[in-house]
Amino acid sequence: MSKDMLGSVVRAAIGVPQNRCDLLARIANDLSRDNPRGDEWYAFYEEMRTQGLPLNTGKWNLIYTRPISDGHELVLPPNDGTQTIAQASNVFTYIDPDFKNWGLDVTSTSTPPLSVVVREMIKDADFRTIFGEIGDTARLCLTQGQIIDFVRFHKGWLRTDGYGTFFLFQKGDKMFVSLDDFYVAYVFSSSGGRLWVHVYRLLHAYVWLAGSRHRIVVPQLML
């Protein structure tokens, strides 16, 4: 089976934008008589076809997550890039020491106002799968300062009841990076309302359970 089973012909037929092809190609590459993931692709396609929604509108749900902040304008203010999570003890009751141990206590470039969206897990997946289906990894990152600002200004959108909200960020401001340079800040609220933050590598293999309805915050991308 070719790597890009969908190819230009299928993309043109069903209107799949180029930035979705990695996800769909991965699913297509799994198609076989003994692999149930093939059914996911056909169910996904049939749902969109019967609803009459072209797949390039950005109005369709993905396989592992769904939007929950549609209709709400969530904007992060300009940020000077000097804030780091390791130093944000005024925001978080507990801060994972690996923010320092892994060399992540570094500032970033300043950022303009940014609109973000909140999604919710609907199927078990690891971090690479979760973020990989939403879009290009580098474009999904927030700076540490923006993560702190989301917690400060949009706290009501964090997952509660002891479960988490995921934020993708990059180590440093390098233009050319590998997947080893991407990390996930995992923010959750304890039963008393106190905020804890852990850090994981994007390549962390743990599969998160959809039943916990973990949330994901990413920039509002123009699809």
> What is the reported pLDDT for 221?
78
**Percent of the chain's residues with pLDDT above 70:** 70
Does residue 32 lie within any of the structural domains?
Answer: yes
Residues 6+ apart with CB under 8 A from 214: 120, 121, 159, 163, 164, 165, 166, 208
Q: Do 115 and 198 reside in the same domain of the chain? A: yes
Q: Do 116 and 53 reside in the same domain of the chain? A: no
Domain range for 196 is 66-219
Q: Do 18 and 41 reside in the same domain of the chain? A: yes
Q: Do 54 and 75 reside in the same domain of the chain? A: no
> What is the average pLDDT across 135-144?
91
Does residue 1 lie within any of the structural domains?
Answer: no
> What is the reported pLDDT for 17?
47
> 112 φ, ψ to 5°?
-80, 180
Q: Do 209 and 106 reside in the same domain of the chain? A: yes
Q: Do 71 and 42 reside in the same domain of the chain? A: no
CB atoms within 10 A of CB 165: 24
Q: Do 125 and 38 reside in the same domain of the chain? A: no
Q: Do 55 and 92 reside in the same domain of the chain? A: no
Q: Give the global pTM.
A: 0.74
Q: Do 123 and 211 reside in the same domain of the chain? A: yes
Which residues partner with 94 through β-bridges? 196
Summarize pLDDT for 172-220 with one digit per residue, the tens. 777 667 889 999 999 998 877 789 999 999 999 999 999 999 999 999 9
Q: Do 215 and 154 reside in the same domain of the chain? A: yes
Does residue 15 lie within any of the structural domains?
Answer: yes
Question: How many structural domains are present in the chain?
Answer: 2
Q: Do 45 and 88 reside in the same domain of the chain? A: no
**Percent of the chain's residues with pLDDT above 90:** 57
Q: Do 74 and 165 reside in the same domain of the chain? A: yes
